[in-house]
Amino acid sequence: MRVCMIGTGYVGLVTGACLAEIGHDVWCVDVDEKKIQMLQQGNIPIYEPGLEEIVKRNLSQNRLRFTTNLEEGLENSLFVFIAVGTPPNGDGSADLNFVFDVAEKIGQIMKSYKIVVTKSTVPVGTTSKIKGILSETLSNRKESFLDFDVAFCPEFLKEGSAIEDFMKPDRIVIGTENARTAEFLKELFAPFVMKENRILCMSIPSAELTKYAANAMLATRISFMNELARYCEKVGADIEEVRSGMGSDSRIGSAFLYAGIGYGGSCFPKDVKALIHSAKAKGQDLSILQAVEETNKTQGDWFSKKILDHFNNDLVGRKFAVWGLSFKPHTDDMREAPSITILSALADHGATFRAFDPVAMDNARAFLGDRYIEYCSDCYETLEGCDSLVLLTEWPLFRRPDLDRMKSLLKEPVIFDGRNQYNPKVLQKMGFIYISVGRDINQPN
């Protein structure tokens, strides 16, 4: 089946590549000429394990093509996916301009029946507006006879394991207005659920809300644990022990119960905001989510304060080694990474840094600049001449470091661990001052 994927970012590129991998004929379209040129040569603009191999293989077998020409992409494609960004507006609502712009362009160009499927995360009612834009544009062209259907299929992939998530999904949600469109989409996605049918068909508004609800639930678990971690420190409890105690309850489960420095990335922060905003517009306060957002907003400051407290609020002349910059491991994505707020807060107090991230260094430079950060090529190199270490992203590489070597390289054996990667008892026994999240007894804050 021929597919046109509009928007070749994290979602569009992974979706397009995986659809090609199982045999569909895919055209990926993007307005970013540089990105398209790179992709045409088999070079991948993002870090995503396993993606390069799939793109190269399908490019060489002509099942995957990249273009800036929408007309070329649309021609003969039955399915047209919209996978462009929906960044937050200043008031927290989702900016839908990219989505609506694409819908208008499809309406201006299409020449035959299309199923227009939105994959971007959008508020309830957006797919219906897309339908309106398509109808209006076709009517302006005086070609209202051209038939189309709309659908909404949210994307649940996680950056860092996107290929695995897409190829073996927990579920595929298909939101349609009629059975015919649902049947077409079921056929398109059938190869991904051959072992077990995990396709859930529902109405478009339910599908639109499902995506926000899933992200909001995951964000809620994170903020819940972060708030509990703060309380743990006041009462001498250990959040890691609490986590395993509560997570082993099968009604709760162990996923997404890690305390840390707050959620980031291009999805959770913006999706929680957008859901709060769109519910409010309908007169519905989502007070739980407002609290989730508030806790997340202050979690980085709470962690920075631990560092400031340790140095009596004076970081002038202090240099910190930083391990990890991306918003989570296995990705180079720096969007809304907690490292941005934490490092800039510490820099405001005079701190400078030597930082290392296994894959996000180039993106980090674009976000953080190099005014107060030196970028190093190895995690031990960062420690040279530094007063202490701040661990911000839990890359596996940082899990079992050479602690003796670390101690000999740091000026003072102090570790601030924003991801609870180490055993406090082991570190304390080795003479480290180890400050982590929800495990530091008798902290004044």
Q: Which residues bind ligand NAD (CB under 6 A)?
A: 6-12, 29-32, 35, 83-86, 98, 101-102, 120-121, 155, 157, 159, 266-267
Residue 291 to residues 13, 58, 89, 94, 221, Cα–Cα distance (Å): 34, 45, 20, 19, 12
- Specify the residue, 155 or 227, whose C-beta has the smaller distance to ligand NAD: 155
For ligand NAD, the closer CB: 30 or 417? 30
Residue with smaller CB distance to ligand NAD, 166 or 398 = 166
- For ligand NAD, the closer CB: 86 or 299: 86
Beta carbon of residue 25, minimum distance to ligand NAD (angstroms, whole number): 19
Q: What angle (nearest 5°) sits at the alpha carbon of residue 277, between those of residues 275 and 278?
A: 65
Which residue among the candidates 28, 232, 267, 376 is catalytic per the annotation?
A: 267
C-alpha dihedral (120, 121, 127, 131), degrees to nearest 10: -20
Q: What backbone phi and psi angles, to 5 degrees, belong to 263?
A: -80, 150
Length of the chain counted residue by residue: 445
Q: What does the DSSP 8-state code read for residue 412?
A: S
User: Please, what is the minimum distance in Å from the beta carbon of residue 283 to ligand NAD?
Assistant: 25
The residue among 95 and 412 lying less far from ligand NAD, judged by its C-beta, is 95
**Placement of tokens 């202490």 in the chain:** 388
Q: How many CB atoms lie within 10 A of CB 320?
A: 26
Annotation marks residue 267 as catalytic: yes
To ligand NAD, the closest distance from the beta carbon of 87 in angstroms equals: 8
CB of 406 to ligand NAD, least distance (A): 33
Distances (CA, A) of 352 to 385, 393, 418: 11, 18, 18
Using a 10 angstrom Cβ sphere, with 0-12 exposed, 13-18 middle and 19 or more buried, the burial of residue 202 is middle
Q: Which is nearer to ligand NAD, 102 or 322 (CB)?
A: 102
Residue 414 main-chain phi, psi, to 5 deg? -120, 130
In the complex, what is the shortest distance from the CB of residue 46 to ligand NAD, in angstroms, rounded to a whole number? 7
| Euclidean distance between CA atoms 108 and 105, whole angstroms | 5
Q: Could you give phi then psi for residue 5, rounded to 5 degrees?
A: -110, 115
Nearest to 327 by CA among 219, 212, 170: 219
Query: Measured from the CB of residue 91, what is the shortest distance to ligand NAD in angstroms?
Result: 17
In whole angstroms, how close is the CB of 271 to ligand NAD at the nearest point? Answer: 7
Collapsed DSSP state (helix, strand, coil) of residue 147: coil
Closer residue to ligand NAD in complex, CB, 33/196: 33
Q: Closest residue (Cβ) to ligand NAD?
A: 9
Give me the amino acid identity at 165: D
Gap between the Cα atoms of 181 and 209, Å rounded: 19
Instruction: Scan for tokens 């517009």, then name that residue.
Output: 281
Instruction: Supply the residues annotated as catalytic.
Output: 267
